[in-house]
Structure 1
Amino acid sequence: MKIIKLSATDSTNSFLKDLSRNSPLENYTTVVAINQTKGRGQQQSKWVSEPYKNLTFSIFTSFNDLKIIHKKYLNFAISLSIYDVLLANTLSKIAIKWPNDILSANHKICGILIENTFFGDKIKNSFIGIGLNVNQEIFPEHLTNATSLKLETAIEYNLDTLLDTILVALQKNIKLLDAKEFNVLEERYLSVLYKRNIPTMFKNSKDEIFMGMISGVSDFGKLQVLLDDDVIKEFGIKEISFL
């Protein structure tokens, strides 16, 4: 496994994608940035990270036989990898907030961005960007819901050691994906999905407020919410939020 360490870059995902255009990449090639100046999240949102304090990195993975229709299981595998590592570090009340934010006691500690390339009906490669708040203790005022490992555990973490642990967990879950153990991944993901089967107030993209319960994730990766009239409605990213 090749690990490339950068003092600074705008986006590790962008850097890794540019690298792949110029030369073949070894599977699990990883780019780590001490300072990521323009980190990206879902739907063009930004990931803000203090230099030298956190992990901002991207991983290249290639697949031989992962169909696009099974894309949600890739998301499950990556999310569970971070979840497993945080759980092993005794963080409290860890959960995955759909689709792939990781929460600790209702506060966001990790964001994931997965960008894929396709060939026919299959996913050829994935560029997996991960931002994990590790030793940062003060966040910008607008990030009212952010936390870090150090804030949650009062422990200072070695970033290199933590990265190695994450990469091991990721390879373990990717093996389940390659082996098409989709049911295993889905069962585990749903068992730790934030607010699943709990009556919750939501707001949709039209600012309409309604009550529902998260019941699962559709074949196309949309969030399934059981409404008051026993109808299950599906929502894409940015189409629904917690009130």
Structure 2
Amino acid sequence: MHIIKLNATDSTNSYLKRLFVNEDVPDYTAVVTKLQTDGRGQMGTVWDAEASKNLTFSVYKDISGYDLENPFYISMVTSLALIKTLRFFSITKLSVKWPNDILAENKKICGILIENVVKQNKFTSSIIGIGLNLNQVEFNNLPKASSLKMITGRIFDLDEVANVIINNLKYYFNILKKGQTDVLKTKYESFLFRKNKPSTFKSDEGLVFSGFIKGVSNSGNLQILLEDEIVKEFDLKTITLLY
């Protein structure tokens, strides 16, 4: 397992992208840092983590040999690998808040940022950024954030957790390489936060409406049953799930 350990960097995704441009990077190479000065989340949000308390790392994945039309399956693989890891460490009441925030007891403990590389209209590689709250216990102005220590009272070893995550990524990527996308999608949907429960959403135009989450499309759009009994798909840029 090729792991690069840093004391600090702007973002592990950015570091790995720079590395990838300049040299050959072995499959599943991971970059782990104690401090991320410019951590990024979905849609340009900032990922703020206390130094040395949490697991902030990125993994390089070669997907050139995969028959992959919909890159959202990489998000599914990553989410499932994280849930498998958290279960290994006896964390329960887990869910995925679409598209790929990991919740425990309805509080966010992990965020994912995936950046794919496309060459000649084919997905060739993926950089998977993961921010997992391990030992931090104070989250200023983030009432819906939590950590593994807050849940269990235990201190977690960052290296051990990283190794388990990488092994579980290998497990689910192997399923994806075999083309068993239905298996991944069914399992991912089984963990969807607020699935089949009345939920409130906000559109990019500011409209608030209600509906029931039914699942996701192959491309990762959220499928919502609306009041008129019509299932409509929404992409990440057009809708926000409110708690």
TM-score relative to the length of structure 1: 0.96
What's 1:105 paired with? Answer: 105
Trace 1:35-50 onto structure 2 (pairs within 5 A): 35-50=35-50
What's 2:118 paired with? Answer: 118
Between 124-133 and 158-167, report the one with greater CA deviation: 158-167
SS at match of 2:71: helix
What letter is aligned with 1:189? Y
Trace 1:64-79 onto structure 2 (pairs within 5 A): 64-67=64-67, 69-79=69-79
- 1:162 positional shift: 0.9
What letter is aligned with 1:7? N
What letter is aligned with 1:118? V
What's 2:221 paired with? Answer: 222
Kept in 2, the 8 Å contact 1:69–1:219? The answer is no
What's 1:18 paired with? Answer: 18
Kept in 2, the 8 Å contact 1:197–1:215? The answer is yes
Quote the sequence identity (%): 43
- 1:149 positional shift: 0.2
- 1:174 positional shift: 0.8
What's 2:167 paired with? Answer: 168
Distance 1:33 1:5 in 2: 6
Aligned-pair Cα RMSD in Å: 1.2
Gaps of at least 5 residues in structure 1 are: none
Distance 2:227 2:87 in 1: 34
Distance 2:220 2:72 in 1: 5
Task: Summarize deviations over 1:64-113 as a string: whole Å, max 9, x none.
Answer: 34345221211110110001111222223100111110001111000000
Query: Is 2:143 the partner of 1:144?
Result: yes
Task: Summarize deviations over 1:137-191 as a string: whole Å, max 9, x none.
Answer: 01122x2211000001111111111111111111111111111110110110011
Query: Is 2:14 the partner of 1:3?
Result: no
SS at match of 2:72: helix
SS at match of 2:96: strand
Distance 2:68 2:179 in 1: 13
Distance 2:189 2:219 in 1: 15
Trace 1:171-190 onto structure 2 (pairs within 5 A): 171-190=170-189
Distance 1:65 1:29 in 2: 17
- 1:134 positional shift: 0.1
Task: Summarize deviations over 1:29-63 as a string: whole Å, max 9, x none.
Answer: 10000000110011111100001100000000011
What's 1:197 paired with? Answer: 196
- 1:222 positional shift: 0.9
Kept in 1, the 8 Å contact 2:67–2:179? The answer is no
What's 2:62 paired with? Answer: 62
What's 1:90 paired with? Answer: 90
Kept in 2, the 8 Å contact 1:66–1:122? The answer is no
Distance 2:220 2:178 in 1: 20
- 1:199 positional shift: 1.4
